Amino acid sequence: MPTPQQGDPAPDFTATDQHGNKVSLSDYRGKEVILYFYPQDNTPTCTVEACNFRDNYQSLQRKGFEVIGISPDNEKSHTRFITKHQLPFTLIADKDRKIVERYGLWVEKTTFGRTYMGTARKTFVIGKDGVIKLVIDKVTSKTASQQVLDLLGQANPE
């Protein structure tokens, strides 16, 4: 599937969070959502990105944002990741990659000359009305939360 773009309705989904609870994107209607996709729990770059959202989470919430991370990892992996890094936001387990594929993010990747299929790192900001306000194709993991705010034209997180 092609990746949804700014101005498109965000594809809805229902999946389980780190606790095994069913969560739908539509549950967040009326709130602005930072929906970030990442390849794998507890890998260096994914950890840096998650911790950046953690460190700025309260500020993002004061600005009206909810943060949701999605990867193909299972609930148990998400729970370990959250516990190890004290992440205060929801992580969605997309074990069958239905959400990743719906967002067009199951892609061919190449690392050290090896080609394989994996999840693209990408961030979507979804407005209160469920429409995509922003798509960040080239996420800077160390400053992911500030990157969202800068591209939306908002002030610093803290």
Catalytic residue among 46, 93, 100, 120: 46
Of 87, 127, 124, 133, the C-alpha closest to 103 is 124
Residue 18 burial (CB count, 10 A): 25
Angle at 22 between CA 67 and CA 122, to 5 degrees: 35
Angle at 100 between CA 114 and CA 157, to 5 degrees: 100
Cα 49 to Cα 128: distance, rounded to the nearest angstrom: 24
Q: Does the active-site annotation cover 46?
A: yes
Residues assigned a catalytic role:
46
